[in-house]
């Protein structure tokens, strides 16, 4: 199965107070660099949705900016379908780890997300037109409405705990697992 990795990075960071994707971690790398590095081993290629990042393919949210995470996901689904990928594995720019167990748990035939971390998801590329229709409909464009519409799996894995950075204090308290 050909998997495209997509880092959803078009948010406003309103709770963080500044662009959290560019927040620098203790090792000197940004949150978005960590997110790209974390998802890369599980996919063929990584794209960034909602912004440009030097050295990576950046996708403009679709159908327009400020659509929330679904605008980035929609761009990734259309890119995946046109480039011959079977599905998209997603993460948020504020999620600096993506364990192999998570990628394995999410990947399947049907769309699925990690319970409590809806940006960590698996999305078959064939959902591109369905997401177009969802975004064109009169709804609040929440990811929860989209999950309900497509009957997505919610993967419960209490053994997988992902740090999620929403406020500067979350970054200060972050302890990343050591690799190796």
Triad 98, 100, 106: Cα angle to 5°: 80
Question: Are the beta carbons of 5 and 91 closer than 8 angstroms?
Answer: yes
94 annotated as a binding-site residue: yes
Predicted pLDDT at 180: 40
132 annotated as a binding-site residue: no
d(CA 5, CA 93): 12
Predicted pLDDT at 105: 96
8 annotated as a binding-site residue: yes
Averaged over 142-163, what is the pLDDT?
92
19 annotated as a binding-site residue: no
Predicted pLDDT at 29: 86
> What pTM did the predictor assign?
0.89
The 3-class SS string of 132-167 reads: HHHHHCCCCCCHHHHHHHHCCEEECCCCCCCCCCCC
> Which of the following CATH numbers is that of domain 3-172: 3.90.550.10, 3.40.640.10, 3.40.50.1820, 3.40.50.740?
3.90.550.10
Give the residue with greater pLDDT, 24 vs 42. 42
Averaged over 32-37, what is the pLDDT?
93
Model pLDDT for residues 48-103, shown as the tens digit of each residue? 999 888 899 999 999 988 888 999 999 999 999 999 999 999 999 888 999 999 99
55 annotated as a binding-site residue: no
pLDDT bucket at 20, cuts 50 / 70 / 90:
confident
Model pLDDT for residues 116-142, shown as the tens digit of each residue? 999 999 999 999 999 999 999 877 778
Triad 68, 54, 42: Cα angle to 5°: 70
Q: Where are the domains of the chain?
A: 3-172
């Amino acid at each position: 199965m050909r998997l495209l990795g997509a880092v959803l990075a078009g948010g406003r960071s309103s709770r963080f107070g500044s662009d959290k994707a560019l927040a620098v971690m203790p090792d000197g790398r940004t949150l978005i660099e960590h997110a790209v590095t974390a998802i890369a081993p599980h996919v063929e290629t990584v794209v960034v949705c909602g912004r440009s990042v030097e050295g990576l393919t950046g996708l403009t949210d679709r159908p327009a900016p400020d659509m929330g995470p679904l605008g980035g996901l929609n761009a990734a689904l259309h890119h995946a379908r046109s480039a011959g990928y079977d599905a998209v594995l997603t993460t948020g720019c504020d999620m600096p780890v993506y364990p192999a167990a998570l990628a394995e748990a999410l990947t399947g035939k049907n769309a699925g997300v990690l319970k409590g971390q809806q940006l960590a998801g698996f999305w078959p590329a064939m959902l591109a037109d369905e997401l177009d229709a969802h975004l064109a409909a009169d709804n609040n464009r929440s990811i929860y409405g989209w999950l309900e519409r497509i009957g997505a799996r919610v993967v419960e894995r209490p053994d997988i705990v992902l740090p999620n950075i929403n406020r500067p204090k979350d970054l200060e308290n972050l302890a990343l697992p050591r690799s190796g």
